[in-house]
Amino acid sequence: MSADGAVRRADWTIDQDWAAYTPEDHATWVTLYERQAALLPGRACDPFLKGLEALDLHRSGIPDFARINAELARLTGWRVVAVPGLVPDAVFFEHLANRRFPAGRFIRRPDQLDYLQEPDVFHDLFGHVPMLTDPVFADYMQAYGEGGLRALGLGRLTNLARLYWYTVEFGLMQGAEGLRIYGAGIVSSHAESVFALDSPSPNRLAFDLQRVMRTPYRIDDFQQVYFVIPSLEALRQATLQDFGGLYASLAKASDIPIAAILPEDRVLTRGAQTHVSTQ
Ligand code: HBI
Ligand code: FE
């Protein structure tokens, strides 16, 4: 029995029980959705905005996963499954490896609009699921799940969790007119959707797989560093390589302090152009 009384199955899934949402729950969804939908054009990447449109996530309240899944499965074979909250790593990776995205069923309270610790249905369904309509990102997420299961076996989970954090949760992408957001943790947060692109304080570095895997992260504040991919295809290619050699070199490499800029880092500005760091 999970916290909110749901009966969970062996794979940690529960019924979404859409009928149990209250009018206040649906109103919270609409408030969050409309605030982000007004802010994100020009900030979120095209695949995200197209996915949001394709899945029609507004519909005046929390979407029924069954309705979303009909379209999502048609587009990329992915489905959303309801879970009570964070699930054990092995369970999480197993779902991703089978094109199932675990989404929290609960929604935050009206007084928690701007921050909550645990991913709720708005973070998961609005933040993560639109990108799963993009075939390249859909492949990446499945490859990530398979890699996660391997990493667990090799004791490299910390490194792999960083890859998830700096791409799936807080990733930026180079767009023709400047940087664009694809990370769910940013795109589902009003304040961070502004901070990640506009603030001069965080570092924005060109994505490099080993660099990301050596960089710790904090979960309780805006990011101090964002990594920028040139394209989703480049991200997918990065995960198709054999990680064995990478893990061997990571075992000898130290972590990189979260706010550090290394001489070999390529520092990006908000525009499309880049300049090599002068440090
Ligand atoms: N469980 N429901 C849920 N959602 C997550 O994002 C999640 C998880 N369990 C583990 C986990 N993430 C991390 O281990 C990964 O980010 C690596
Ligand atoms: Fe998330």
Euclidean distance between CA atoms 234 and 227, whole angstroms: 13
Mind giving me the DSSP string for 145-187? Answer: HHHHHHHHHHT-HHHHHHHHIIIIIT-EEEETTEEEE--HHHH
- Which pLDDT score is estimated for 250? 92
**pLDDT tens, 135-162?**
999 999 999 999 999 999 999 999 999 9
- Name the residue at shortest CA distance from atom 14 of ligand 1: 89
- Which pLDDT score is estimated for 2? 58
- Which pLDDT score is estimated for 6? 72
Euclidean distance between CA atoms 254 and 245, whole angstroms: 16
Taking the mean position of all CA atoms in its chain, how far away is CA 230? 17
Residue from 188, 189, 192, 193 carrying the catalytic annotation? 188
Burial of residue 96 (number of CB atoms within 10 Å: 0-12, 13-18, 19+): buried
Tokens of residue 227, six digits: 């990594």
Euclidean distance between CA atoms 110 and 149, whole angstroms: 37
**pLDDT tens, 32-55?**
999 999 999 999 999 999 999 999
Q: Is 249 one of the catalytic residues?
A: no
- Name the residue at shortest CA distance from atom 11 of ligand 1: 89
- Which pLDDT score is estimated for 58? 82
Taking the mean position of all CA atoms in its chain, how far away is CA 242? 23
Domains of the chain: 18-275 (1.10.800.10)
Q: Closest-lying ligand to the alpha carbon of 128? A: 2
- Name the residue at shortest CA distance from atom 3 of ligand 1: 86
Q: From the CA of 88, give the closest atom in ligand 1.
A: 9
Q: Is 128 one of the catalytic residues?
A: yes
Q: For residue 117, what is the DSSP state?
A: S
What residue ranges of the chain have pLDDT lower than 50?
A: 272-279
pTM: 0.94
